[in-house]
């Protein structure tokens, strides 16, 4: 991720802010804001092709060698418990951003190929965001921010308890600003197999307490995430009861064993 939360989002990149609306009597007033792009789930091969296109081009700017492995769709894109987000321009339908979300309902998270998560965390419903890629054109920061909101809303709708990410320097500072916390405090950066063995910080974010924590911190994106309805953001799905993750062996961790 490359956007900076402290700068929020550029007002000039938005199309129109409509008047506030109020839903249920006990619900806070919500502004409605239109965006110059849509964010939705990939539904077919054409959508996935667009996601792969922007994924490859984004990685090629910073990690050209690793990007060569991302020219085609990955097997993980079609796994059970996986969805791919796609941001598309309203003007011409061109891809502007993408993110892959994997839950641990059917198998361990990708990062568990490289590191063993703490026992308390593995028993909960988790979702890991990977393969984030965003256009380098004007408005890229807004796309990134909306993709984060889409990730958060998807987790809310599907009963995910913790959002998990892995950030390399300096991208990890963005997750700090979003109030993610380290899974392994003091461990620093850990090489991850699914990220080209580049060192990353493994971080997590509690979904249920997010609104309270951001309100208390007066987070600059609080209104954007919690008090603004974006009709152009549609992650589908409906909330469903908690289903414990399937019991299956974890991947063998590569390198030194990390403290639990």
pTM comes to: 0.82
Across all residues in the chain, what is the average pLDDT? 85
Q: Which domains does the chain have, with CATH numbers?
A: 36-229 (3.40.630.30)
Q: What pLDDT is stored for residue 16 in this prediction?
A: 54
Mean pLDDT of 44-55: 97
Mean pLDDT of 97-105: 98
Instruction: Give how far the C-alpha of residue 91 lies from the chain's centroid of Cα atoms, to the nearest Å.
Output: 24
Percent of the chain beyond pLDDT 90? 73
Write out the E strands in the chain.
Answer: 16-21, 30-34, 37-41, 82-89, 95-103, 126-134, 162-167, 181-182, 190-192, 198-206, 228-229, 233-234
Q: 142 and 39 in contact (C-beta within 8 Å)?
A: no
């Amino acid at each position: 991720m490359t956007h900076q939360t402290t700068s929020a989002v550029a007002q000039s990149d938005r199309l129109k802010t409509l008047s506030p609306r109020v839903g249920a009597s006990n619900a806070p007033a919500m502004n409605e804001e239109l965006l110059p792009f849509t964010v939705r789930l990939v539904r077919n091969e054409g959508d996935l092709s667009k996601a792969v296109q922007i994924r490859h081009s984004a990685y090629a700017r910073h990690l050209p060698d690793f990007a060569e492995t991302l020219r085609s769709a990955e097997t993980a894109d079609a796994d059970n418990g996986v969805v791919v987000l796609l941001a598309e321009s309203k003007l011409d339908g061109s891809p502007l951003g993408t993110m892959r979300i994997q839950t641990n309902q059917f198998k361990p998270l990708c990062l568990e190929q490289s590191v063993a998560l703490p026992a308390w965390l593995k028993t909960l419903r988790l979702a890991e965001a990977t393969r984030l890629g965003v256009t380098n054109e004007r408005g890229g920061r807004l796309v990134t921010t909306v993709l984060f909101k889409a990730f958060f809303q998807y987790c809310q709708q599907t009963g995910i308890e913790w959002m998990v990410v892995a950030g390399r320097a300096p991208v990890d500072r963005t997750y700090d600003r979003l109030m993610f916390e380290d899974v392994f405090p003091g461990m620093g950066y850990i090489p991850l197999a699914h990220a080209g063995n580049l060192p990353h910080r493994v971080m997590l974010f509690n979904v249920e307490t997010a609104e309270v924590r951001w309100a208390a911190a007066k987070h600059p994106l609080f209104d954007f995430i919690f008090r603004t309805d974006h009709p152009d953001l549609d992650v589908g799905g409906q909330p469903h009861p908690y289903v414990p993750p399937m019991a299956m062996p974890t991947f063998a961790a590569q390198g030194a064993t990390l403290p639990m």
